[in-house]
Structure formats: C-alpha cells, structure tokens
Structure 1
Amino acid sequence: MTSTSMTGNPRTLARIAGLLYLILAVLGGWAQLQARGSVYVEGDATRTAANIIEHETLFRLGLVADILMATVFVLLGLVLHRLLHHVHERAATALLVFVSIGAGSILLNLTFHAGALLAATRPGHSAELVLLLFDLHQQGYVLGGVFFGLWLLPMGYLAWRSPMLPSWLGVLVMAAAVAWVADPLLAFGLPDAPALIRTVVEVPTSVGEFGLLLYLLIRGVRPQPTTQQPQPTRSAALRR
C-alpha cells in the first residue's frame, strides 16, 4: 500500500488544511479585533457596557465566530494528522491532542464573552461586572496562547522531518511555538515591561504561522515520486 493511499492525496489534504487555517485566522481575527475590539474601552466600564448594548448583534456574532473558529481548529488538526501521521505517529498524535485542548480552552474562555453579553443586556446591569467579565476574557485569551503555541511544536517538527515540506518552514513554525508560549509568560511575569518587547516576540509568531498557512494553501506539498513504499523521512537517524 502506498503512502498516498494511506493518507489520501497529500497535496489535496495540505490545501484543505491551508484553507481551514485561513478560515480559522479570519474568524479569530475578526472576533477579537472587530467584534470585541470595537466595543471594548479599557478601564471604562460604562462605555464598554453601553457599546455592547448598542452593538449587541456584532458582539453576538463575535461569539459565534469564535465557536466556529474552535470547530475549524479541530478539523485542521484532524486533516494535518491524516497528512503527516506517517512521518511520526507520536508527534502527529501530540499535535492533535494540543489542538483539541486549545479548541476546548477557546470555548471555555468564551464563557466570559457570553457572561459580559448577559450582564450588559440584563435590566439594571452592573457596568463594572460587564468590564470585569470582558477583562477576564482578555486575560484568558492571553493564557490560551500556551496551547495556541504548543500544537505548533509537533507541527514544526513534522514539517522539518517530512520530505513533503521544507525544513526551513519547520524551523519557523517551531520558533512561532516558542514565541506563543513566551507571550503569556511575559504578560503575567513582567507586566511592566515595555510593550515593544511583546511586539518583538509576536514577530516569529506571525512569520511562522502565516508562512505555514501560505505554503499549505498555495504550494500544498512538494511533489513526491510514485513508489510502492512509504516515503523516507528527511533524517534516517531519527526514529520513532
């Protein structure tokens, strides 16, 4: 049985993964930057609560977008597992586990988004409670960076090891993983550090993730010769 028959068409799977990754980025970015970002006023409970009431539909759609994002995240993990499990089964399984936990953390953190909506639209609401729930969601979003990053470690390793993907891409993705995990450590461990530090840390995250997204979506995978045996990994010295 060939590698292609075991996993499906690798290029098709890779482009499906790239499309899912793009949908995930659009949904998550819109929910955070537009749906929540346009109503949140840091430190101003009254204006934040008033904005949620005024733009209730937008705020609800942000919640829906994040629910869909978590769903797409799991689908992305399943497709990548199918594409790369033959490269290293344990790494591919770790990827799927971290994705599942990350998606679960997204949904759990949305409790605060939903809570802010309920508190703001309830008669005689407390603006301070609305802002507190909103702030808790924001902090949870930062903490979620741990699992947003951890899934990229096995993904980067698989990309580095597989002949279907370039080794430089794997290195960039693993660097993005480290940056994702470093961000919440900086945010909570060094809250008074200059904002520039966190901005610099975000650079490898953007480069690694968008590099992976674009490569999967546009290139798919490298063409592989047809053979009756599974394709060897990049490094024969690396074994399960």
Structure 2
Amino acid sequence: MSVQAGRGQAETAPTTLARVAGFLYLIVAVFTIFAGLVNARTVESGDAAATVDSIGTSATLFRVGLVSELMGATAFLLTSMALYLLLKHVDQLAAAAMVTFVAVSVAIQSLNLLNQKAALTIATGQDYAGAFEPAERDQLTMLFADMQHDGYLIAQTYFGLWLLPLGYLVVRSGYFPKALGVLLMIGCLGHLVDVFARFLAPDFGADISPFVMTPAAVAELSFIVWLLIKAVRLPVR
C-alpha cells in the first residue's frame, strides 16, 4: 500500500506543479495586460500637457496600474520557480537559465516602476507645485513616462529570452506537445525583434510589433491554457 501511495504522489506532483505554474502565469498575464492598458490610456505619446492632465484626473487608476504591474512581476518570478521545479529534471542548466532570465527581467521591471511613480508624483504632488513652471512640470512628467516605457522594453528583452530555455524544456520534457515548445522559442525571437526594432527604428518597430509579437502571444496563452486544463502528459505505466 505504501509503495502504491508513494507512486501516486510522485505522479501527481508534476500535475500539481503544472497547475500552480499555470495559475501564476495567468495572474501575470491579467495584471500585466491591465497595467499596460492603464498606461496606454493615461500617457499621451508626444503630448506632455495632455499626459499631465490625464494622470491628474486618473491618479487613482494610475496608482492601481503601478501596483498591478508590480504584482504581475512578482507572480512572474514565482511562475518561473514553479516551472523550474517541474522541468529541472529535463536539463537543470536550461532550467536555471530560464529562472535567471526571469529574475533579471523582474528586477529591471520593478526598478523601472520608480519612473512611473516619479511621473505620478510630479504630475499630482502639491509639494512640487512651486518647484517647476507648468511647462517644465509637463516636460519632466513626460520624460519619466517615456523612461518608464523604454525601461519596460529593456525588461522585455529578458522576458523574451526566458522563452528560449522554456521552449527547449517543453520540447524535451514529453509533458507537452513539441509544437508548443517550438512556438515558445519562436516567440523569443519575436520579443527580441520587437525590442531592437523599437529602439533602432521606432516608427518601423511600432508598425511591425503586432506581427512579430503574435507568435509569442499565441504560444504563451496556449501554454497557460495547457497548464491549467491538461497540466502534463504523464507516461502510461
């Protein structure tokens, strides 16, 4: 009886880890997408005065967006840790690389939120009302908002790189369809193309972004669904 129970626990552990990782990954998607929508709604690209007015009238929403991104970043780190436990037996070096890329991404993303907080403070803080002329306040707020956007792109570099070892582990593990792992690795390339195109040729990068990011979006959403519904494919004994 004890041997059978031990085997049962060994077989359910990957399923449990997969569902935990899927739930955490879903939290990442929800909170990060919400934060992105908030920034897109409040920051008017190229219009400093409109951005200050928007942040001022939506200060609470802007704060919620900041906290949402921080929570998403935390959940992202926990997701990588759960996947490390699930996949380290496949290739421990690749699993460690996966977590390292995520840790770097989360560190940059979290520190970058200081730029968003600075934009909010300058746009709404009464303590700074007399420190700047209105035009100076507007431009400084826009500067920090732009820095937050660029900082997120830098973090996205590592958010893309983590998909490479993850895709490799997915292919090798036998837990998931191999096509899903290949799509995750293609998603890595899409993230990198998006980041470097936006930095090197901003207008061109913005134009191609929806196309190069589609494989990554499809792969990650499919992976979340698989983790939550199918969990893992265990060998039949």
Q: TM-score, normalised by structure 1?
A: 0.88
For residues 130 and 74 of structure 1, what CA distance do their matches in structure 2 show?
A: 30
- Deviations for 1:193-223, whole angstroms, at most 9, x for unmatched residues? 2744222111111111112111111111113
| Secondary structure at 1:9 match in 2 | helix
Q: Does 1:80 align with 2:83?
A: yes
Alignment of 1:41-80 (within 5 A): 41-80=44-83
Instruction: Quote the RMSD (CA, aligned, Å).
Output: 2.0
Q: Does 1:96 align with 2:99?
A: yes
Paired residue for 2:153? Answer: 142
- Deviations for 1:92-119, whole angstroms, at most 9, x for unmatched residues? 1111111111111110111111110111
Q: Does 1:29 align with 2:33?
A: yes
TM-fit CA distance, 1:224: 2.4
Which residue identity lines up with residue 32 of structure 2 in the other structure? G
Paired residue for 1:121? Answer: 124
Which residue identity lines up with residue 89 of structure 1 in the other structure? Q
Alignment of 1:201-220 (within 5 A): 201-220=212-231
Consecutive unaligned residues in structure 1, runs of 5 or more: 227-240
Contact 1:7–1:83, Cα closer than 8 Å, also in 2: no
For residues 7 and 62 of structure 1, what CA distance do their matches in structure 2 show?
A: 39
Paired residue for 1:165? Answer: 176
Q: How many residues align?
A: 225
For residues 78 and 166 of structure 2, what CA distance do their matches in structure 1 show?
A: 15
Aligned-residue identity in percent: 38
| Secondary structure at 2:221 match in 1 | helix
Contact 2:194–2:208, Cα closer than 8 Å, also in 1: no
| Secondary structure at 2:174 match in 1 | coil
For residues 115 and 20 of structure 1, what CA distance do their matches in structure 2 show?
A: 29
Q: Which of the pair is proportionally richer in helix?
A: 2
Paired residue for 1:14? Answer: 18
Q: Select the structure with the greater relative contact order (CA < 8 A; seq sep ≥ 6).
A: 1
Which residue identity lines up with residue 75 of structure 1 in the other structure? L
| Secondary structure at 1:149 match in 2 | helix
